[in-house]
Amino acid sequence: MKKLNRRKFLASISGLVAANLTGLVKASNIAWSLTPTETEGPFYPLRAQKDKDLDLTRIKGESGRASGRVIVIELVVRDQSGKGLENVQVDLWQANAAGRYRHSQDKNKSPLDPFFQGWAIVSSDKDGKIQFKTVFPGVYPASNTWNRPPHIHFKISKPSYGAITTQMYFPSHPLNEKDLLLQRKTTKEKKLMISTVDKEDPDKFYYNVVLQKDG
């Protein structure tokens, strides 16, 4: 009787293992959703600058640090299988902590920050990862009746993949629900465009970008 029970027990365990492995295989075949595109906006940097590295809080040759809350963004660029893509070029730019872009067309009266880099052009590592330091972008007026929530712009490109331009938002910001651009998106698209915050570090955010392979 004991031997029979043991056989049944082993058979049930084998069945559970097989079911779990099947589930893992199926999960690995699930396509990741493509990142929604968004307008480039009017403030893409035009003025040449030498410093375009991963630390936007400082400018090489300057002794000061950018004003505002320092945050870290961990961006991973993937294909639709979820695999990280190496050597993806990522062009990113944003407003400073006061909501001002370093751009001649930005009429916002908030001050410029002489120590804020504001723009970077970087590449992903072998795992598709880019980790950069910046400041939490400020709210800025897009019009007399529309204030844009904090966001970061990305242009992302890799040979043999479709290039995209998009914007990343921050979780739980009250202006997300009023933003004219974000509210044009579906519920699923909004979720894909809003970063997630680290459970232990409120100043670290994660964001996935998924590209489509050409052809």
What is the chain's pLDDT, residue by residue, as a tens digit (215 residues)? 455 555 554 455 444 444 444 444 433 456 899 999 999 999 999 888 889 999 999 999 999 999 999 999 999 999 999 999 999 999 999 999 999 999 988 989 999 999 999 999 999 999 999 999 999 999 999 999 999 999 999 999 999 999 999 999 999 999 999 999 999 999 999 999 999 999 999 999 999 999 999 97
CA distances from 25 to 19, 22, 125, 210 (A): 10, 5, 26, 20
Catalytic residue among 100, 102, 103, 153: 153
The dihedrals phi and psi of 27, each to the nearest 5 degrees, come to -65, -35
65 is catalytic: no
Q: Which amino acid is at 211?
A: L
Catalytic residue among 78, 102, 103, 151: 151
173 is catalytic: no
Instruction: Give CA–CA dist 160/150, Å, rounded.
Output: 32
What is the CATH number assigned to the segment(s) 31-210? 2.60.130.10
Catalytic residue among 100, 102, 103, 140: 140
Catalytic residue among 78, 100, 103, 148: 148
103 is catalytic: no
